[in-house]
Structure 1
Amino acid sequence: MSRTPAAPTAAALSPTGETTVRTDDGAALAVTVLAPLRAGAGSGTTVVLAHGWAAGRRVWSTVTDRLIRSGHRVVLYDQRGHGASGLGKEPISVRRFGEDLAAVLGETGSRDAVLVGHSGGGFAAMAYATADPAGARRLRGLVLLGTAAHDQETPDGEVRMMGSALFSRALRRPALGRRLLGQTMGKKADPYAREVNRQMFAAASPQVRADCFRASRGMDLRAGLAAVRVPAVVLAGEHDRVVKPELGRAVAEALPDARFDLLPVAGHMLPLERPDEIVRAVAGLVARSRA
């Protein structure tokens, strides 16, 4: 299957607003394009944000606000099956998420962006980059958050739980849902951030949740990362119990030009817990690309 995105449409290249990117297997991806609020250090640089499993564009709200205030154009989208995005003909897979990301980059004129991927969005970013290293070299940089390139063998019991009606009903009860998802965030996470996390997880389709967590089984992108010659920053929360921090370190070691930072106290949901560190990582890559 070709990974070359279709030519950008006039609507997709509009500076702001909502648009739809349709993939080659028929999935309609909901995309938001935001222009910078003012000229700044980031002027002329696009940042594309890819969220993780059972989340959505909402997870980037604080990050997005800081980026557009810093002068960046921002593109964010719901992964297939999440939020306002539909499913296509192909089953959910890490490879398919990488191809979806390629379509978003192409249709929004963002092939020279800084690409930020959290958790499963990091899988998508790495799948895109390893499948098309030449295309990835056009990127200004990669910021990978709470993610891994291998060792994601989700147990059968956990996959079944993700898809169960009982778990979904529990998530819809605020106090219980926050408690069930407690391990996804650091102990000092803001209560509002915990509630946002619960609401997104509860809104995700049980089948999509299960399919996503099943999709990463057998994934090992480390060999392909050696050809991804793009400056990168890999961030991991010190207390991440979803994706072990040492797996983020392994990603940085596999990439030719990457820095690994361990964020004290933080858990897995870095877009909600540590937005400022993400924005600083983007700023550093932009400054480096200009130098």
Structure 2
Amino acid sequence: MQHRTTYLTVGDGTRIFYRDRPSPSTSPRPGPPVLLLHGLAGHLGEWDDLAGRLEASGHRVVSYDARGHGESTRRPASVSRAAHVEDAVTLLRELDLAPAIIVGQSLGGLTAMLLAADHPGLVHSLVLVEAGPAGRSPELPGEIAGWLDSWPLPFASLAEATAFLGHEAWARGLEERADGLRPRFDRDTLVRTMTELSAEGYWPQWSRIRCPTLLVRGASGTMKPAEAAEMLARRPDTRTAVVPGAAHDVHLDRPEPLHREIEKFLAERADEPNEPTSRRAGESLSR
């Protein structure tokens, strides 16, 4: 299947780099389109494994580099949550994807959540991977800066980058320069991206989401169980899943069980459209 990889310019002039995987023409029942949103310091290529599985399941799948990341504009005028949401809205409308399944991991999950809260007509269902509405600490930007400063740049090889970053998919997001491999993002831009999150919490937005929602955590992920419990308390119709053998990057650690959980979640909604939400709540365990 031929994939289209190109740019879309959004309202403030930021160029968004995206990949469009059409649903297979042989699929008897094409599913809703899927929009994939990566986390901080990530890139669209880290979704390749999951995107391929979703495409094979009959979905059109679009992934993109968030502003300030990858091949998108490296130093955009704004890195606010509102700007990130507007990028996703523009893609959904310009590519005629809505209503779409929105899948977001970590920071991309927060963008997905705010999108579902503010633009319900564009969202078929929501999948949050290690992402929630809790506010962060004021120390967060400094912690991110320290983490980025710890990278032993430049990396001499893909193997060296993979060993440090933990996944080859992350390493493949680097760019090759004369002195070695370096990130395709600006360090200060990423720190600015986290500033808004250092003080804000998004519980009101979470509470007003009405689309079917799946919350996925890695068994050894960084999302606090208390946050997940509060999310379920406020929206008891939320389905949750914990993926064994996965940390924060569930989509990289265990893409197959993540795909299985997503397809099971979608199938349950299709099979039981009138089922009371209280009976659809609960937690499942991938094996």
TM-score w.r.t. length of structure 2:
0.79
Q: 2:5 matched to 1:24?
A: no
Cα offset for 1:65?
1.0
When residues 21 and 195 of structure 1 are mapped into structure 2, their CA distance, relative to the original with a 3 A threshold, is same
Instruction: Name which structure has the greater RCO, CA cutoff 8 Å, separation 6+.
Output: 1
Aligned to 1:149: 133
**Partners of 2:43 and 2:33 in 1: how far apart?**
19
Q: Report if aligned partners of 1:230, 1:257 keep a CA contact under 8 Å in 2.
A: no
Q: 2:255 matched to 1:275?
A: yes
**Partners of 2:141 and 2:3 in 1: how far apart?**
42
Aligned to 1:160: 145
Q: Report if aligned partners of 2:32, 2:59 keep a CA contact under 8 Å in 1.
A: yes
When residues 144 and 249 of structure 1 are mapped into structure 2, their CA distance, relative to the original with a 3 A threshold, is farther
Q: 5+ residue gaps in structure 2? A: 175-181, 272-287
SS at match of 1:52: coil
1:51-90 map, 5 Å: 51-87=38-74, 90=77
Cα offset for 1:199?
4.3
SS at match of 1:111: coil
Aligned to 1:195: 168
Cα offset for 1:224?
1.6
When residues 95 and 26 of structure 1 are mapped into structure 2, their CA distance, relative to the original with a 3 A threshold, is same
Cα offset for 1:232?
0.7
When residues 217 and 41 of structure 1 are mapped into structure 2, their CA distance, relative to the original with a 3 A threshold, is farther
When residues 46 and 228 of structure 1 are mapped into structure 2, their CA distance, relative to the original with a 3 A threshold, is same
Cα offset for 1:281?
3.2
**Partners of 1:72 and 1:289 in 2: how far apart?**
16
* Amino acid across the alignment from 2:55: I
1:34-113 map, 5 Å: 34-40=21-27, 43-87=30-74, 90-113=77-100
Cα offset for 1:254?
3.5
Q: 2:212 matched to 1:231?
A: yes
Q: Report if aligned partners of 1:142, 1:230 keep a CA contact under 8 Å in 2.
A: yes
Q: 2:197 matched to 1:216?
A: yes
1:102-141 Cα distance to aligned partner (Å, 9 max, x none): 11111111121111001111011012122x2xx3245221
SS at match of 2:123: coil
Cα offset for 1:37?
2.9
* Amino acid across the alignment from 1:207: D
* Amino acid across the alignment from 1:98: V
SS at match of 2:18: strand
Q: 5+ residue gaps in structure 1? A: 1-14, 183-193
Aligned to 2:284: none
| Aligned length in residues | 261
When residues 200 and 43 of structure 1 are mapped into structure 2, their CA distance, relative to the original with a 3 A threshold, is same
SS at match of 2:230: helix
Q: Report if aligned partners of 2:36, 2:64 keep a CA contact under 8 Å in 1.
A: yes
Q: Report if aligned partners of 1:238, 1:266 keep a CA contact under 8 Å in 2.
A: yes
**Partners of 1:172 and 1:97 in 2: how far apart?**
32
Of residues 99, 108, 124, the one that matches 2:111 is 124
Q: Report if aligned partners of 1:171, 1:180 keep a CA contact under 8 Å in 2.
A: no
Q: Report if aligned partners of 2:141, 2:198 keep a CA contact under 8 Å in 1.
A: no
Aligned to 2:279: none
SS at match of 1:149: coil
When residues 251 and 199 of structure 1 are mapped into structure 2, their CA distance, relative to the original with a 3 A threshold, is farther
Q: Report if aligned partners of 1:172, 1:199 keep a CA contact under 8 Å in 2.
A: no
Aligned to 1:10: none
Cα offset for 1:277?
2.7
TM-score w.r.t. length of structure 1:
0.78
1:197-233 Cα distance to aligned partner (Å, 9 max, x none): 3443752422233223334212311112111101011
When residues 282 and 199 of structure 1 are mapped into structure 2, their CA distance, relative to the original with a 3 A threshold, is same
1:38-86 Cα distance to aligned partner (Å, 9 max, x none): 5347514211111111111111111011111111111111101111111
Cα offset for 1:90?
3.4
When residues 27 and 45 of structure 1 are mapped into structure 2, their CA distance, relative to the original with a 3 A threshold, is same
Most deviating of 208-217 and 142-151: 208-217
Most deviating of 250-259 and 106-115: 250-259
**Partners of 1:174 and 1:158 in 2: how far apart?**
26
Cα offset for 1:29?
0.5
**Partners of 1:26 and 1:88 in 2: how far apart?**
11
